[in-house]
Amino acid sequence: MSQTVFGKIARERVSDRVAAEILRLITSGDLPPGEKLPAERQLAEMMKVSRVSIRAALQRLQGQGFVSAVQGGGTRVVSATGDTEPALTELVRIDRSNLHDLAEIRSNLEVWAARRAAENARPKHLEEMAASLEAMASPERDAHERALDDVAFHLAVARASGSAVYLHILTVIRDILTEMLDYHRYELFGTPEDDAAVLAQHRAIFDAIEAQDASGAAEAMDRHLSWVLEHYRTPEGAAAPASRSDAAE
Amino acid sequence: MSQTVFGKIARERVSDRVAAEILRLITSGDLPPGEKLPAERQLAEMMKVSRVSIRAALQRLQGQGFVSAVQGGGTRVVSATGDTEPALTELVRIDRSNLHDLAEIRSNLEVWAARRAAENARPKHLEEMAASLEAMASPERDAHERALDDVAFHLAVARASGSAVYLHILTVIRDILTEMLDYHRYELFGTPEDDAAVLAQHRAIFDAIEAQDASGAAEAMDRHLSWVLEHYRTPEGAAAPASRSDAAE
DNA sequence: TAGGTTGAATTGGTATTACCTTTAGACCGC
DNA sequence: GCGGTCTAAAGGTAATACCAATTCAACCTA
């Protein structure tokens, strides 16, 4: 039991050697992101292995987020660091109803964050929120800019909460939501009345946070998100928050 | 250019469909970590696709860290969340106060899940919960086993919520909490009175879910977690829930 | 000539078949 | 029991053929 002298044998698959070699070229910078690597048939011949092994290696590298293959197009390097958070994204991609859950969970977290923000907000955070409110109130902002202001406000609240963990989780969720919504080409629209309502709700949240009224802030945020979810609910229901509600805020 | 009649075709790789299906089984809990999945040849026949496609799917899942294959041995599930959260783990490792935030966020999510569970629970989920309750009530269970029963109950609620997204996020958070707490060698203890109180609270949650009382379930869960957080709060405050509250439940 | 169209070459994706290497369990003899 | 052997099963590799999407240059039309 105490014979630690014996490590496990190297035992390496051919496809592992291939993957290691390609990965080495990627991380060393020889194959920068965007670069198209040789065709599978060429790689197979160059490395003197079967195409099966080449494909096995590339499949794993795809799973790790280093490369991306398009039928007929080729295989390209997409990242030198490898993305790892495709799990949640994949989950949502599989079943659209998960998108609704995710939006709901996010709402929950935002309410929690509002409470925390009321307790912890510092002057610079309040300034940040005020700035985005002012920008959003400006009449010459178009719909797109307004959406960005919207995001900025919610981000300011997140920062004011003083929780790095929350900021991280929220960012992950937001990325997924925007990616999925962009993918489905959702447009962000709102009537002037809607914009006014959103602005008023934001102001209520801000006032409560500024007054360090934790419960009030939580309630205001809850009202706001409920309004958004309700207001932009789509007929089919499942993909309800398919609107600015999630893409923007 | 304005021919919007033609949406883009579903075009999906066979191996993607296979990977999605397997991933669904993993994230839903049907294939828990450690479980060995059917042989490639069997999967190929069951899904009516070639072994090549099965392997392509498994290679990608390996790259994502969900499964692990060894020649001659088989393919096993190693994680239900993949390689997702290294960033979040690092965040917590750097600043212990983040641990408290994470525990608080988890509480929030559990309350939400309890509400959802009351709305969606199916017989098998109720049975699962009842089983863990019964086990926990048994006098001959020691502290360690009791903690496992505790986890089982909360996991059953999570599954009953019917939200794969929630199950995923909760698992990630739980893994981080247990890892961090185990790392600091926290012991899980509780007086018999405490155990009785926890059991009673679990029963209350179960009853509400069984009665499909969403608000009641949410309140019961909230009371339970508040009690746990309060009861096991440590003097230093920051890492407050450093006890069975997070490691176990 | 400019610009769109076509079509063959290229490239990744899937299927089929065959064989090798390792693992795991049954079996057997000492 | 203990160790060894045998064997069926599982994953890994190879070779070949064909499918499907993309690319791009030759081609054709206005």
pLDDT tens digits, one per residue of B57-68:
999 999 888 999
- Any idea which nucleotide's C1' is nearest the CA of B75? D11
Q: Any CB–CB contact under 8 A between B101 and chain A?
A: yes
Where are the domain boundaries for CATH 1.10.10.10 in chain B?
Answer: 14-77
Please give the Cα distance from B125 to A116 (Å, whole number). 34
Does residue B138 register a pLDDT over 50?
yes
Give, for A220, the enclosing helix (H) or strand (E): helix A214-231
C-beta separation of B194 from B205 below 8 A:
no
B88 in contact with chain A, both atoms CB, cutoff 8 A: yes
* Residue B56 DSSP SS3: helix
Q: Over range A139-154, report the average pLDDT.
A: 76
Q: Are B195 and B59 in contact (CB under 8 A)?
A: no
Q: Where in chain A is the domain with CATH 1.20.120.530?
A: 86-247
Q: Which residues of B touch A226 (CB under 8 A)?
A: none
CA distances, A157 to each of A162, A163, A221, B53 (Å): 9, 11, 10, 46
pLDDT band at B103 (very low <50, low <70, confident <90, very high): confident
Average pLDDT over residues A155-183: 75
Which residues are paired to A36 by β-bridges? Answer: A76
CA of A70 to C1' of D20 (A): 11
Report the range out of A177-186, B107-116, B162-171 with the highest average pLDDT: B107-116
> Is pLDDT above 50 for A1?
no
Contacts of B14 (CB under 8 A, 6+ apart): B49, B53
Interface residue B50 vs chain A (CB under 8 A): no
Is residue A199 a contact partner of residue A137, using CB atoms and an 8 Å limit? yes
A43-81 confidence digits (pLDDT tens)? 998 899 999 999 999 999 988 889 988 898 889 998 776
- Predicted complex: ipTM over 0.85: no
Tell me the C-alpha distance between B120 and B118, whole Å: 6
> What is the CATH code of the structural domain delimited by A86-247?
1.20.120.530
**Architecture of domain A14-77 in CATH?**
Orthogonal Bundle (1.10)
Chain A closest-CA separation from residue B139 CA (Å): 36
Q: Inform me whether the pLDDT recorded for B190 exceeds 90.
A: no
Residue A149 is predicted with a pLDDT of 80
pLDDT of residue A184: 41
Residue B238: band (very low, low, confident or very high) from pLDDT cuts 50, 70, 90? very low
B124 contacts: CB under 8 Å, gap ≥ 6: none
Q: Is A9 on the interface with B (CB under 8 A)?
A: no
CA distances to A125, B151, B180 from B245, rounded to whole Å, are: 33, 10, 13
Distance (Å) from the alpha carbon of A173 to chain B's nearest alpha carbon = 10
Structure tokens at A19: 């993957």
Is A177 within 8 Å of A228 (Cβ atoms)?
A: no
Which backbone phi and psi does B47 adopt, to 5 degrees? -90, 0
Residue bearing the bigger pLDDT, B54 or B196: B54
Chain B nearest-CA residue for A103: B165
Q: What is the mean pLDDT of residues B161-182?
A: 75
Query: Could you give the residue ranges of the DSSP H alpha helices within A65-163?
Result: 86-94, 97-120, 123-137, 143-160
Interior angle at CA B193, CA B191 and CA B198, nearest 5 = 95
* pLDDT of A94: 63
